[in-house]
Amino acid sequence: MDLVGTRRKRNYTTIISNSLKDSYPHNLQMYSFPPGNEIQLSEFEELALERLQLFRTIEYTTQKGLRIYSEEWKECVYGELIKNELKRYLRLAKSTDFENPSDIDLQARRADHISHFILRLAYCRTESLRKWFLARELEWFKLRFLQQSPKSIEKFLKLNNLTYTSISPEEKAKFYSELSDSTANAYAVDQLNFYKVRFTEVPSLIKSRRVFVHKGYAYIPNFELVTCILGIFRSSLNEALVYANRRLPLMDDDRINFLITNLHNIYTGKDYSQNFNSGKVGLTSLDVYARDHFPLCMKYVYGILKSTHHLKHDCRLQLGLFLKGIGLTYEDSMTFWKNEFTKKIDSGKFDKEYAYNIKHMYGLVGQRTSYSAYSCIKIISSNVGVGDHHGCPYKHWDSVILRTKLNELGMTTEAVEDIVNTASKGHYQIACCKHFEYIHGQQNKVAISHPNQYFEESLECSKENKNQKSQDTPKIVKKQKANDTTLEINDIDWNEDI
């Protein structure tokens, strides 16, 4: 990207063309070439904010618990885009074809292109920012790709030099039964075209066992082609982001520095790696807090620790970082873990085997990064094995056990059934949210996306109840304000399962 006023030599090709139609032949782009025209600073800023809003919208819609790319989800995204007056992106999101673009279409494609590159600059700086950005870009890309007509997809592949050759009829005949058993959603193998790609190109299809895999190759049906394209888009963008991060120090321009470094903070949720709350929670009050304000995932693990005086590594991390996030100081944390563990083992063994772990969480040893508390998405997508206790209760527990545990907490049968039902439909965060609402008797419609957020909301609720004041402002707004004062967010754990 060439910014007016910088003298840095460009070392790659840019699109320099006066005809928008030549520059943007298709609605979908791989963003292989940076934009090369001049741009007003005001427009620069506007474009950046618009795209960020677009991404927040997509993320927010998914967090509501709607199944991603489903019809309801799409409708919801469209609705939000209209509400936020993001007309250009609405147009792009709805378009199904590339031919005969109007002027407005072309303007939208241009905005999409330029804003992508601005956000690249803003989001290349840390691993977690890159991850978040990458996840949103992929969602935005897939949303549009799925809308395209077959002809439009063909054109897109051709424009980007992507070719796939299908397997021979002989090979298809040889593996006929394997292909029909192992390909998810394939009802008529005869009518499908299969492509053979290296299994490393389609990790998401391998992961969910949706395709037949043989001798290192995945046999993908034509309707899964999007996964391949996404894989390519993903790895090239990831590479580009790492590259941009290395080059960023060379681009020092006061006019945009502020925007670029602070973009993500403008609308962001809260970061739980910095110990803002440090010292707010003492050891003595921990048991009470656990009883009243911990989400189920933490409450359960906390109980296990109290009763067995031991937790496995992943489990320690889940609880330990959460405790750090709610404001337990390092010293208190060490005392807390030591007290529990030494009921079963001697303190020498604790110092040798576990103390390092606690120090590590607080960034005092090893790589010295202060780790963030796990978000819901990270906990939900974590692997839990035999004998483990961590994870999301709504996802990782049998409904029988979930029901028993909720009953033990003294919830009404009706509430328990509602929560268990929601969880068994796969809406884990909503189930957690319902749990919250039943406890506090409030319908505050705030999506729970982080155990620490749950904790804070819960604390807030009980304070409100005490003061007997009703407060109508939704909490999200308050959060944003609090955040504008934080200058630098280094390590937001938007740890998405992409």
Contact residues: other proteins, CB under 8 A:
178, 180-182, 184, 199-200, 203-204, 206-209, 212-217, 313-314, 352, 367-368, 383-391, 393, 396-398, 400-402
Distance in angstroms between the alpha carbons of the first and the last residue of the chain: 27
CB of 405 to other proteins, least distance (A): 8
Q: Where are the alpha helices (DSSP H) in 84-211?
A: 87-94, 103-123, 127-145, 150-159, 169-174, 176-182, 203-207
Nearer to other proteins, 255 or 368 (CB): 368
| Paired residues of 198 in beta bridges | 217
CB of 462 to other proteins, least distance (A): 28
Nearer to other proteins, 75 or 497 (CB): 497
Rounded Cα distance, 320 and 318, in Å: 6
CB of 212 to other proteins, least distance (A): 6
Task: For residue 212, give the 3-state DSSP assignment.
Answer: strand
Nearer to other proteins, 264 or 403 (CB): 403
240 within 8 A of 217, measured Cβ to Cβ? no
Nearer to other proteins, 184 or 476 (CB): 184
CB of 313 to other proteins, least distance (A): 7
CB of 384 to other proteins, least distance (A): 4
Nearer to other proteins, 8 or 67 (CB): 67
CB of 374 to other proteins, least distance (A): 15
> DSSP class of residue 480?
H
CB of 243 to other proteins, least distance (A): 16
What count of Cα atoms within 13 Å lies in the side-chain half-sphere of residue 247? 14
202 within 8 A of 218, measured Cβ to Cβ? yes
> DSSP class of residue 395?
H
CB of 458 to other proteins, least distance (A): 23
Nearer to other proteins, 378 or 390 (CB): 390
- CA neighbor of 62 nearest in space, from 139, 123, 147: 139
CB of 14 to other proteins, least distance (A): 30
Nearer to other proteins, 2 or 314 (CB): 314
Q: What is the pairing mode between strands 194-198 and 217-221?
A: antiparallel
**What's the per-residue H, E or C state across 430-464?**
HHHHHHHHHHHCCCCCCCCCCHHHHHHHHHHHHHH
442 within 8 A of 434, measured Cβ to Cβ? no
Nearer to other proteins, 232 or 482 (CB): 232
- Phi, psi angle pair for 73, to nearest 5°: -60, -45
Structure tokens at 264: 């993500």
- CA neighbor of 431 nearest in space, from 406, 452, 462, 459: 406
Nearer to other proteins, 148 or 183 (CB): 183
- CA neighbor of 392 nearest in space, from 477, 189, 384, 339: 384
Burial class of residue 487, CB neighbours in 10 A (0-12, 13-18, 19+)? exposed
CB of 393 to other proteins, least distance (A): 8
Nearer to other proteins, 214 or 309 (CB): 214
Nearer to other proteins, 8 or 313 (CB): 313
What Cα–Cα distance (Å) separates residue 310 from each residue in 285, 314, 328?
A: 21, 12, 19
Rounded Cα distance, 213 and 77, in Å: 35
CB of 200 to other proteins, least distance (A): 5
CB of 385 to other proteins, least distance (A): 5
Q: What is the pairing mode between strands 212-214 and 217-221?
A: antiparallel
- What are the DSSP calls for 288-339, one per residue? HHHHHH--HHHHHHHHHHHHHS---HHHHHHHHHHHHHHT--HHHHHHHHHH
Nearer to other proteins, 104 or 401 (CB): 401
CB of 147 to other proteins, least distance (A): 27
Nearer to other proteins, 96 or 236 (CB): 236
Tell me the helices (H) and strands (E) count for the chain, helix number first: 25, 3
